[in-house]
Amino acid sequence: MDRHYLAVHRPASDEKADYTVHQAMTDYWTLHGSTRVSADAIRARLKLINRFIDHEIAIGVMREPVLPSILNDEWLARFRLWATSIDTIAPQRRAADDRALPPKKRAKSTAEESIIQLKAALRFNARRMTDVPRLKHLTRAEVTPKRTYRLSSDSLAELLHYTCVGDGSAVHATRLIPLRRYLIGAISTMARPDAVMDMSASRARGQWNPAERLFDLNPPGRIQTKKYRAVVPVTELLDDWLSATDDRLVCAEVLRCDDEGDWLDQRPIQSVKKAWQAMQAKLGIPIGWGPKLIRYSVASILRRRGVDKDQLAVALGHQALNSTTERYATLDPEDPRYLESVRALLDELSAELMQKAGTFIRAKSTEVGGNGRRRLL
């Protein structure tokens, strides 16, 4: 009923004059934001704006009702200061070794994303207000210093080696198997972290095509977003790990032994963040770089080795496939030459890493028994 009323109602002049910023954000969420694939992100951005307005009302800077007309450059400046310097994300934090860390501040780009979302909410409800304020957001390039740190192939091999040996104990190395699986997936596909965590070898999911050596990073049923998930070639190393996986690529492995043999149970996990942070501290990866560093680093290595730029753009999801791009054989997933430049260089890099890190980065030899369980060979 609320959605239908909002969709068909035509506000009178007095209603437009009284229309508030809170109403604009609520109506935008009800009619549009809640239906989007990025609904969680939209809600978080609008929530930040709401919290700032509540903060300003509480300290007496603003008064209710908060109308769109009071939003100006001065208001944006106050919001940016509050969002990035005053309102901390995590007041109390601890490192992997239990050291106390300073409060984590919100990135400037995050504040700008909230401003962009607010502008979208106001534009969406333009007919419900007297006038839409002209707000200018800053681009990511304007607020984010260019970061050029990248991992070399030697460094990537060192990361893989670390996940095999850990601190030297067999127990620790076993705990690092999910991180090793994550690295294999990230290096082999250059996918964003969330896409790597979504990778599945299950036939029911339909992402992996072993016959064509292709992997669809976008699971069936998931709507593509601006962060496009591509169909990517499967390297020999990734194929080895997918063949040894029941469902999610990034999973923990538990060895169980009985009279019939040694069985490997695989359990999906939610995150490799803690394992990454421990490795980061151990190997000296600069603070501020998360698992997405793998994507940047592999792409940089391929660029230096002369990869076809158009093919790389498709593999990274920077260029979505459409009727125009699919006219070219190397950009058509149904053509044997699909992303052939990317495939060749990823295979080359995988072979190089196996040589540098040791062949033990391959998956354990297993087979699925008649009972559906995976047996170690």
Distance CA 183, CA 160 (A): 7
DSSP 75-120: HHHHHHHIIIIIS-SBSSEE-TT--EEPPBPPPHHHHHHHHHHHHH
Average pLDDT over residues 351-369: 85
Read off the pLDDT band of 324 (50, 70, 90). very low
Range in 22-26, 167-171, 217-221, 243-247 with the lowest mean pLDDT? 167-171
326 pLDDT higher than 50: no
Average pLDDT over residues 163-178: 83
For the chain, give every domain's residue range: 2-143, 153-376
What's the burial of 262, exposed, middle or buried (CB within 10 Å: 0-12/13-18/19+)?
Answer: middle
In the prediction, which pLDDT does 232 show? 95
327 pLDDT higher than 80: no
Distance CA 160, CA 19 (A): 56
Average pLDDT over residues 183-189: 97
365 pLDDT higher than 80: yes
Q: How far apart are the first and last CA of the chain?
A: 61
| CATH no. of 153-376 | 1.10.443
Residue 44, C-beta contacts closer than 8 angstroms, at least 6 positions apart: none
Share of the chain above pLDDT 90, in %: 65
Q: What is the mean pLDDT of the chain?
A: 88
Distance CA 121, CA 33 (A): 9
Average pLDDT over residues 313-342: 75
**Do 209 and 228 form a contact (C-beta atoms < 8 A)?**
no
Residue 79, C-beta contacts closer than 8 angstroms, at least 6 positions apart: 49, 52, 111, 114, 115
Whether a cis peptide bond, with omega within 30° of 0, leads into 268 is: no
**pTM, full prediction:** 0.75
Range in 194-203, 211-220, 362-371 with the lowest mean pLDDT? 362-371
In the prediction, which pLDDT does 79 show? 96
pLDDT in tens, 156-165: 999 999 998 8
